[in-house]
Structure 1
Amino acid sequence: MLDMKIIIEGEIAVPVEPVTLRHFIDGGWCDSVDGAVSERVSPSHGVVVSRAAKGGKAEAEAAIAAARRAFDDGRWSRISGRERAKVLLKVADLIERETERLAILETMESGKPIGQSRGEVGGSADLWRYAASLARTVHGDSHDTLGEDMLAMVLKEPIGVVSIITPWNFPFWILGQKLPFALAAGCTCVVKPSEMTPATTALLAELLVEAGLPAGVCNIVLGYGAPVGAVMSEHPLVDMVSFTGSTAVGKMISATASGTLKKVALELGGKNAQVIFPDADLEDAADAVTFGVHFNVGQCCNSSSRVIVHDDIAEAFTARVVELSRHVAFGNPLNPATQVGAIVTPEHQRKIDSYVQEAAAAGAQVELGGNPLDVEGLGPQFYQPTIVTNLTPDMAIAREEVFGPVLSVLTFRTMEEALALVNDSAYGLSAGVWSRDVHTCLAFARGAGAGTVWTNTWMDGFPEVAFGGMRQSGQGRENGRYGFEEFLEVKSVVMRVGRTRAPWVNAP
């Protein structure tokens, strides 16, 4: 049936009891006022992983009010950068201490392999440490060339109360790209994780308290986009919304937030391409393409779900990617050897499959995979690593975000044709080029309409380097100094030194 490496047994025991999660508001934990709860069933093991309080309008408004009080009274916004950095550094240490506990819960809720969860959770500590460094180094400007009687300063101040809404696919890492940077700037926050993967965010509250973060500075409300996310997006006491998720929801948030003209930062979808020139190191490129499409089960905004290969090497290169994909370890996410785990929900699995079946019906060739898979002992929420060729650029599978382990293969002959294919998309998140010729790489980097361009690598990211998209992949940036400054307002202060200004009104 399948010529793939399937892993069924796991080295980590499935947690017996679900973890109980509560809202964290104004420094304390609480249930929903109506007692509502939601359960998350593991997509890979079919057991209840977490039982979370299900918030509503009351909890969202209470969290916003707490964040507003905490910002306005200055308990966080007006303390020194040194004091804020001290707390953030402590949080980073605590994250590293709790990595295994958090990673297991993330794997069970999301279905991603435990090795990837460990990397995500443990690696996020570096985001907190980098944000701490920014807390101490933020500065404005001074202008002392305006004349001997004038002095002007440009100050950078925290924007205020920030609503942070995060997705299910990288719940802890994406939170790390937002929350520590907002806190470093002096903002206060209300956080809503996805209802599908709430555990790691909810448990972060314990670490924030242990690190000494004052009450009300970070509040966590569990629940669904409606009503919690909607309240967080439209409330007049919120100054900014930072959202990561689908482009469709991002548009809704922008529309909702427009009622109060609050700032909106969005990191949305992508249809990212790697372009392979004939002079590339083809073995390295094939490995990177295989990684780029199958990492996190393809449920990644940065997934390289398109590969655009030069005609001269397309057949051989595709064959190599197919062969490598057969050897990707596929199955039980709790086994450290697993590289591709479960699909997050049955509904999403059906959506992935519909793209493949529609393409096949239109004449595309499925070179590998192409079907859901019921893994013995684990269940039906798995999708085979899939590679599709003989496509035309207008097919949905080649243009839309599939968000699964599905690679679309297109071909080109010239740089101009390659760039036209890359840029013929509503998205503009990331792109990649493989060539030994630096001139080819630079020409591609200049021509590609994407927020990040990788050359001879894929998905290497660093806290220092800004991340974000163009067009319908979003607005604003995360990480680096550019991401930090999203949470700052600029204020100009103009001062006259001494009484040197001639009077405007001549009166006796």
Structure 2
Amino acid sequence: MTVLLKPQKLVDAKVREFSMLIDGKWVEGIEAGTIERVAPGHGVTVSRYKAATKDDAVKAIAAARKAFDHGLWPRMTASERSNILLKAADMIAARADELAYLDAIEAGKPITQVQGEIAGAADIWRYAAALARDLHGESYNTLSEGTLGVVLREAVGVVSIITPWNFPFLIVSQKLPFALAAGCTAVVKPSELTSGSTLVLGEILMEAGVPAGVVNILAGTGAAVGATMTGHPDVDMVSFTGSTGIGRLTMENASKTLKKVSLELGGKNPQIVFPDADLDAFVDAAVFGAYFNAGECCNAGSRLILHRDIADDVTTRVAALSQKVKVGDPLDPSTQVGAIITPQHLEKVQGYVSAAAGSGANVALGGSHIDFGFGQYMAPTILSGVKPEMAVAREEVFGPVLSVLTFETAEDAVRIANSVDYGLSASVWSRDFDTCLTIGRKVRAGTIWMNTFMDGAAELPFGGYRQSGLGRELGRHAVEDYTETKTLNMHIGARTGWWMPR
């Protein structure tokens, strides 16, 4: 049986009120509407945001445009921008408990997990601050005796940043500090379900010394705000993380003015396991990869591709460990799996399980929701006997559901791994490094883990192939993504040409 930690009722929960940040001021918005967030783990209202409209988005874009075209931020030295980002990182660390609580209560995430995410986010801000001082161009003095070529990197301009609900503070921290390090200005729209921690970030940035208009933050829906942010002609670049479907709409909208676009989208990530693998280590990684963040993670290891010789044994072991996973109250420090983001999403996840069972898959564990009387929770679920053509094996379920598939040869494993539309991440498990390297080079994904899963660092690029997105976040080139290159071709001495003697 799954270990259940019944949530405590938040009968005295204080509702946190938020305004929107435009041009350095906290404002009510043109229409002064509101969005209420009901905690998915506790069933009570915990946050209330001022709801932005299209007109608010236009106003925020104008503020960012003015700050870029005429303000101080792009004209500061790299060291000045770096120092402000370092100050922001320190302030993020100082307010870590507040930020973690907001993400836990609004997204239903386990509090201990979120505390780790906030610490990681602060580290990313420090890394971006270092890259600000390392941004540079190139020079070419070998073109000819009379020619010097210089390649500059200049901030791309105004960036629209749109982030999802599953990692509210971590994902904005994978985008915004790098844009700021390059000298860009930004309009940020967090998910309307989990805007609280990003709005607190606005307070932090103003206190750290980011000038008015450089960062503007709006809570609102994609239809009301996101469409304007991605299509407005005064926006130079869009950085979006979310579903592949909305990513396509974002790209289509941005194409009308040919903006630069960075997309981090969905995944259907395989873990390929050979008989000689360290199965104790793998079983732990499989359970972590499937149920981390309740499976609401683009990097979730939602497909186990097991060699046929070990499939039954490994599935039994994974199921046994899965039953020890603690599900329940996001605010309990011992919780490992929290709540599902909305009732509608819970229904969607359960629909995938029902469809798979109806197509012949076996529900080896879980498969149903957990009724605590309030909130929405789902039991860790394992589906065995899954075929590659089933929807649960091809589409992003985004819930605590693990599909088990089998293979006989390495070629079969690669074919199954590459048979989906996504290519975000994958892992391969074998004590034979030749096997790991061979499979790793053949699987089409942006990150390949070998004998581990879902490790990461600010220094390592993150992003995917195919319908998992465009571009990369993090890594030493992350700041460059928010720049344009400009060539200065300088001629020395007299000009010669068609009408001038040589």
Which band: TM-score by shorter chain? over 0.9
2:266 corresponds to 1:269 = yes
Give, in angstroms, the shift of residue 473 of structure 1: 0.5
Alignment correspondent of 1:253: 250
2:26 corresponds to 1:29 = yes
Contact 1:373/1:380, CA 8 A, preserved across alignment: no
Matches within 5 A, 1:353-364: 353-364=350-361
2:502 corresponds to 1:505 = no
Question: Take 1:268 and 1:152, find their aligned partners in 2: how far apart are those partners?
Answer: 38
The 3-state SS of whatever aligns with 2:383 is: strand
Contact 2:159/2:179, CA 8 A, preserved across alignment: yes
Deviation per CA, 1:447-470: give whole Å up to 9, x if none: 010011011111111111100011
2:392 pairs with one of 381, 392, 397: 397
Give, in angstroms, the shift of residue 281 of structure 1: 0.5
Give, in angstroms, the shift of residue 121 of structure 1: 1.5
Contact 1:21/1:199, CA 8 A, preserved across alignment: yes
Deviation per CA, 1:257-276: give whole Å up to 9, x if none: 11100011000000001011
2:153 corresponds to 1:156 = yes
Alignment correspondent of 1:72: 69
2:188 corresponds to 1:202 = no
Question: Take 1:238 and 1:343, find their aligned partners in 2: how far apart are those partners?
Answer: 34
Deviation per CA, 1:208-254: give whole Å up to 9, x if none: 01100011111001100012000000000000000000000000011
Question: Take 1:222 and 1:410, find their aligned partners in 2: how far apart are those partners?
Answer: 41
Alignment correspondent of 1:8: 6
Question: Take 1:155 and 1:14, find their aligned partners in 2: how far apart are those partners?
Answer: 57
Question: Take 2:179 and 2:497, find their aligned partners in 1: how far apart are those partners?
Answer: 45
Alignment-mate amino acid for residue 436 of structure 1: R
Alignment-mate amino acid for residue 5 of structure 1: V
User: Mean Cα displacement is larger for which, 13-22 or 459-468?
Assistant: 13-22
2:188 corresponds to 1:191 = yes
Give, in angstroms, the shift of residue 362 of structure 1: 1.3
Alignment-mate amino acid for residue 451 of structure 1: G
Question: Take 2:226 and 2:123, find their aligned partners in 1: how far apart are those partners?
Answer: 28
Alignment correspondent of 1:92: 89
Alignment-mate amino acid for residue 255 of structure 2: S
Question: Take 2:474 and 2:458, find their aligned partners in 1: how far apart are those partners?
Answer: 5
Question: Take 1:359 and 1:286, find their aligned partners in 2: how far apart are those partners?
Answer: 23
1:211 pairs with one of 187, 208, 230: 208
The 3-state SS of whatever aligns with 1:481 is: coil
Question: Take 2:262 and 2:278, find their aligned partners in 1: how far apart are those partners?
Answer: 37
Matches within 5 A, 1:115-126: 115-126=112-123
Structure 1: 5+ residue runs without aligned partners?
Answer: none
Give, in angstroms, the shift of residue 439 of structure 1: 0.3
Residues 311 and 503 of structure 1: is their aligned pair in 2 closer, same or farther, counting only changes over 3 Å? closer
Alignment correspondent of 1:413: 408
Give, in angstroms, the shift of residue 481 of structure 1: 2.2
Alignment correspondent of 1:457: 452
Structure 2: 5+ residue runs without aligned partners?
Answer: none
The 3-state SS of whatever aligns with 1:466 is: coil
Q: Number of aligned pairs?
A: 501
The 3-state SS of whatever aligns with 1:505 is: coil
2:461 corresponds to 1:466 = yes
Alignment-mate amino acid for residue 293 of structure 2: N
Give, in angstroms, the shift of residue 380 of structure 1: 4.7
Matches within 5 A, 1:71-470: 71-376=68-373, 379-470=374-465
Contact 2:42/2:375, CA 8 A, preserved across alignment: no
Residues 145 and 330 of structure 1: is their aligned pair in 2 closer, same or farther, counting only changes over 3 Å? same
Contact 1:127/1:177, CA 8 A, preserved across alignment: yes
Contact 2:135/2:479, CA 8 A, preserved across alignment: no
The 3-state SS of whatever aligns with 2:159 is: strand
Question: Take 1:443 and 1:449, find their aligned partners in 2: how far apart are those partners?
Answer: 12
Residues 331 and 87 of structure 1: is their aligned pair in 2 closer, same or farther, counting only changes over 3 Å? same
Q: Percent sequence identity over matched residues? A: 54
Alignment-mate amino acid for residue 109 of structure 2: K
The 3-state SS of whatever aligns with 2:143 is: coil
The 3-state SS of whatever aligns with 1:495 is: strand
Contact 2:160/2:187, CA 8 A, preserved across alignment: yes
Question: Take 2:244 and 2:7, find their aligned partners in 1: how far apart are those partners?
Answer: 37
The 3-state SS of whatever aligns with 1:269 is: coil
Contact 2:43/2:375, CA 8 A, preserved across alignment: no
Deviation per CA, 1:388-443: give whole Å up to 9, x if none: 00111101011110000000000011110000000000000000001111101100
Question: Take 2:358 and 2:219, find their aligned partners in 1: how far apart are those partners?
Answer: 41
Question: Take 1:231 and 1:15, find their aligned partners in 2: how far apart are those partners?
Answer: 38
Alignment correspondent of 2:483: 488
Residues 75 and 366 of structure 1: is their aligned pair in 2 closer, same or farther, counting only changes over 3 Å? same
Question: Take 2:64 and 2:219, find their aligned partners in 1: how far apart are those partners?
Answer: 16
Deviation per CA, 1:135-165: give whole Å up to 9, x if none: 0011111000012211010111110000000
Alignment-mate amino acid for residue 104 of structure 1: Y
The 3-state SS of whatever aligns with 1:482 is: coil
2:474 pairs with one of 474, 479, 483: 479
Give, in angstroms, the shift of residue 502 of structure 1: 2.4
Alignment correspondent of 2:60: 63
Contact 1:26/1:215, CA 8 A, preserved across alignment: yes
The 3-state SS of whatever aligns with 2:487 is: strand
Give, in angstroms, the shift of residue 16 of structure 1: 2.0
The 3-state SS of whatever aligns with 2:428 is: strand
Alignment-mate amino acid for residue 4 of structure 1: T
Deviation per CA, 1:67-123: give whole Å up to 9, x if none: 001111141112111000000000100000001011111111001100111111221
Question: Take 1:355 and 1:294, find their aligned partners in 2: how far apart are those partners?
Answer: 16
Question: Take 1:100 and 1:381, find their aligned partners in 2: how far apart are those partners?
Answer: 24
TM-score, normalised to structure 2, is: 0.98
Give, in angstroms, the shift of residue 503 of structure 1: 5.1
Contact 1:392/1:398, CA 8 A, preserved across alignment: yes
Question: Take 1:184 and 1:14, find their aligned partners in 2: how far apart are those partners?
Answer: 43
Give, in angstroms, the shift of residue 483 of structure 1: 2.4
Alignment-mate amino acid for residue 8 of structure 1: K
The 3-state SS of whatever aligns with 2:477 is: helix
The 3-state SS of whatever aligns with 1:480 is: coil
Question: Take 1:282 and 1:7, find their aligned partners in 2: how far apart are those partners?
Answer: 29
Contact 1:476/1:483, CA 8 A, preserved across alignment: no
Residues 70 and 384 of structure 1: is their aligned pair in 2 closer, same or farther, counting only changes over 3 Å? same
